[in-house]
Structure 1
Amino acid sequence: MRVVVLGAGLVGVASAWYLAEARHEVTVIDRQPEAARETSFANGGQISTSHAEPWANPAAPLKILKWLGREDSPLLWRLRTDPAQWAWGLRFLGQCSAAHTRANMVAILALALDSRARLGALRRELDLHYDELERGILHIYTDAREFETAIPQAALMREFGCERAVKSAAECRAIEPALAGSALPIVGGTYTAGDESGDARQFARRLAERCAGRGVAFRYGCAVERLETAGDRIAGVRLAGGERVAADGYVVALGSYSPLLLRPLGIRIPVYPAKGYSITASLTPTSIAPSVSLTDDGAKLVFSRLGSRLRVAGTAEFTGYDTSINAVRCKAILRRTHLLFPQLGEGDDIEFWAGLRPATPGNVPLVGRTRIAGLFVNTGHGTLGWTMACGTGALLADIVSGRAPSVDPVPYSV
């Protein structure tokens, strides 16, 4: 088949790779001048199967109420006159039951484990390098009650194949010695040795180069205006400037912007943008910084060493399609970082970034066919786009090709 993939972020490029591997003729279209310029540009850097617990869980509603109006809160819900935001919020609340949380966790974990294995195989096959580190991910807790809650969660994840082990405070400091100087009390943690970290932007660009070497065509600087239909099929993609690109199949992998393209066709998917922030700090020879990727559950932040840089990312701000950088939230990330790592150094070379993560109410991505023949979707990964990119790319390629996927596709169906 001739397949057009809309979007050249991590998910779009991974989809293109696995589609090309299945011998489809693939064209990728993106409005940016190169791959991974938007949500994949400066994310947290984690390939994290251990982060499978969805935001929607029984404890979430009270936390969100407590955080309302706090500019520095880990999750900030800005009330808007936006029907899509309210509809998404109601669905989110509906996913907060214990039963939904468990089902969503199992679905996320199955795809994340498959994706992590595929990423490792792809790295070895193509000799890809992207400041990758295979040192696991350590979840740390500074609140004893949250740590106690994490222990049964870790047990559930182990039941479904994630090797998330509970660690004492001393064991956490042994795994990551940079925590020894923390001004915050580390009460315990969990450690997943098989998890990884790396620069998602570097990976996406290098995989795009390998895709091009296999015949995938990349059309950068081309904004998509709409999908056009003819009867019950897609007739083509109309680009800004008037050009129409036709194919046999079309994959919408535009992250948070996917619902906007699909809505005129009568397809409504429960995806809403969750703005995340990151800071990237250059490290000096005297910087005492973590070399094991960390998740600070209390502040909803992740820390990843990317060569001579430290990436700190996280939080979620529900404020529509606004990508402006809120200085208060950036300062909160810096403040938490320096409390955990007082000897990091104050350096002036710090980059601030914000991007829109495509979130579904239960954090389970949407991968597969739509009701319109030839139209497919691969979006809704939330904070786990890097974690699940290879897995959802392979799942999408299997569905397009009519093959039996290695992961049950039902939980991710559009």
Structure 2
Amino acid sequence: MDVLVLGAGLIGTTSAHFLARAGHDVTVIDRQPGPGLETSFANGGQISACHTQPWAHPETPLMALRWLGRADAPLVFDWARWDPALWVWGLRFLANCTLSAYDRNMERAVRVALYSRSVLKELRAETGLRYDERTRGILKIYRDQGDFDKGLRAMEKTAAWGLRQSACPAARCLELEPALATGGVRLAGGILAAEDESGDAHLFTQGLAALSAAKGVRFLGETTITGLRLEGRRVAEVLTSRGPLRADTIVLAAGSFSPGLARTIGLRLPVYPAKGYSITLDVDGAGQGAPTLSITDEASKMVYSRLGQRLRAAGTAELAGWSLTPNPARAALIRREAARLFPKAGDYARARDWCGLRPTTPDSVPIIGKAPGIDNLFLNTGHGTLGWTMACGSGKLIADLISGRATDIDTTGLGLDRF
């Protein structure tokens, strides 16, 4: 079967790999000259099943109100702009801010994340792919006892779905990661997800693309997709800057730009971009002031991953449209928080800034499955901040669905029909 994959980020590239492995003839299209050059380029680096708590929670609306007008807020909503897409997304988000919805959505996210983590391990063993990976786990640190208690309750809840974590007193956190002592931050405790991982998503995407290309997958870079053309219940053509392209099956994996393409055939996707920021710092000398264990600071909502002789620090979210223009204040916030926690990691004045658009759904669950009412269009989008965490599993799921094979996990609640 001929398959066109729209998007060459983590999700599109893993989809292409597993489709090719299943015997399909695959072409990947992207406007960038190569794979993994947008949202997958400089993300936080974590494969983090431990971070599957949905954004929508009964406490979130009040927290968002407290963050209004704060330059250092972890989440910024630009409600003042004329942006109907954000308002519609926001109403759906509020509808998910109930305890029952929170539990339902978290189970779905944990299901995909745990599966994806296992698929990644198998893929790495099979291919020998290397991407500055570290497999020591992820340590979530808490500065406030109340927040730590909430984290422990969430840990107990996710344990029922197979996510194994362990509580750590403050002293144990410092044993696991001595660099935490360099900033003098007082900790209430931590939670270790020992089976989670970290690594360079960009290196992974490029490496997997190269392996896939060697097995016959075609990557058409510098190809802008302008829309889809529908005939009856099928996508007849993908309209591009190279002219129309045709295939038996289409996979829409264009991240935050998926809704715009879907609208050209009257399909509405509840996906909105959350702009995230990161810095990449070359660590000094032996790097003793930089962490070697991937860290999540729950107070600042920031993550840290050691990538070889680099430290990646990432965080914050802006719900402010599709612009990729960086906000200098947000980048400065990342730099300031990183320097506060790990002051001896390196020269922060020379750190490299980046921002990218993360495709976010109102329930923090990706959209994986066949598009309703369209026989040959499949959706693999809306992974939010968990694209790296869920990429391999999502790619394997979409390949199995297209191939007509039974999936390894239950896909109930992952499709667009839940909205």
Q: Which moved more, 1:177-186 or 1:4-13?
A: 177-186
Correspondence 1:146-157 to 2 at 5 A: 146-157=147-158
SS in 2 for 1:412: coil
The residue aligned with 2:377 is: 375
Q: For each residue in 1:60-114, what CA deviation from the matched residue of structure 2 results, as whole angstroms up to 9, or x when unmatched? A: 1111111112222100001121111000001111111111111111111111111
Q: For each residue in 1:225-268, what CA deviation from the matched residue of structure 2 results, as whole angstroms up to 9, or x when unmatched? A: 11111222111111125x11110000000000000000121111
Q: 8 Å contact 2:284–2:347 — kept in the other structure?
A: no
Q: Offset of 1:347 from its aligned partner? A: 4.5
Q: 8 Å contact 1:183–1:342 — kept in the other structure?
A: no
The residue aligned with 2:84 is: 83
Give 1:270's aligned amino acid. P
- Return the TM-score normalized by structure 2: 0.97
Give 1:196's aligned amino acid. E
| 1:19 counterpart = 2:19 | yes
| 1:184 counterpart = 2:178 | no
Moved over 6 A (4+): none
| 1:409 counterpart = 2:418 | no
The residue aligned with 1:331 is: 332
Within 2, Cα distance between the matches of 1:25 and 1:273?
31
Q: For each residue in 1:347-391, what CA deviation from the matched residue of structure 2 results, as whole angstroms up to 9, or x when unmatched? A: 443110000000001110001101211011100000000000000
Within 2, Cα distance between the matches of 1:413 and 1:195?
26
The residue aligned with 2:364 is: 363
The residue aligned with 1:300 is: 301
The residue aligned with 1:51 is: 51
The residue aligned with 1:227 is: 228
SS in 2 for 1:304: strand
| 1:66 counterpart = 2:66 | yes
Within 2, Cα distance between the matches of 1:346 and 1:126?
36
Structure 2's unaligned 5+ residue stretches are: none
Q: Offset of 1:24 from its aligned partner? A: 0.7
Q: 8 Å contact 2:56–2:102 — kept in the other structure?
A: yes
Q: Offset of 1:181 from its aligned partner? A: 2.2
Q: Offset of 1:344 from its aligned partner? A: 2.1
Within 1, Cα distance between the matches of 2:77 and 2:46?
25
Give 1:14's aligned amino acid. T
Within 1, Cα distance between the matches of 2:348 and 2:60?
35
Specify whether residues 284 and 376 from structure 1 end up closer, same or farther in structure 2 by C-alpha distance, changes over 3 A only.
same
Correspondence 1:187-202 to 2 at 5 A: 187-202=188-203
Correspondence 1:104-119 to 2 at 5 A: 104-119=105-120
| 1:249 counterpart = 2:249 | yes
The residue aligned with 1:349 is: 350
Q: Offset of 1:206 from its aligned partner? A: 0.4
Within 1, Cα distance between the matches of 2:166 and 2:26?
42
Within 1, Cα distance between the matches of 2:58 and 2:304?
26
Give 1:390's aligned amino acid. C
SS in 1 for 2:236: strand
SS in 1 for 2:264: helix
Q: Offset of 1:338 from its aligned partner? A: 1.6
Give me the identity figure in percent: 48
Within 1, Cα distance between the matches of 2:84 and 2:9?
27
Give 1:73's aligned amino acid. A
| 1:138 counterpart = 2:139 | yes
- Return the TM-score normalized by structure 1: 0.98
Q: 8 Å contact 2:281–2:347 — kept in the other structure?
A: no
Q: Offset of 1:286 from its aligned partner? A: 5.2
Within 2, Cα distance between the matches of 1:346 and 1:283?
8
SS in 1 for 2:304: strand
SS in 1 for 2:391: helix
The residue aligned with 1:165 is: 166
Q: Which moved more, 1:337-346 or 1:251-260?
A: 337-346
The residue aligned with 1:263 is: 263
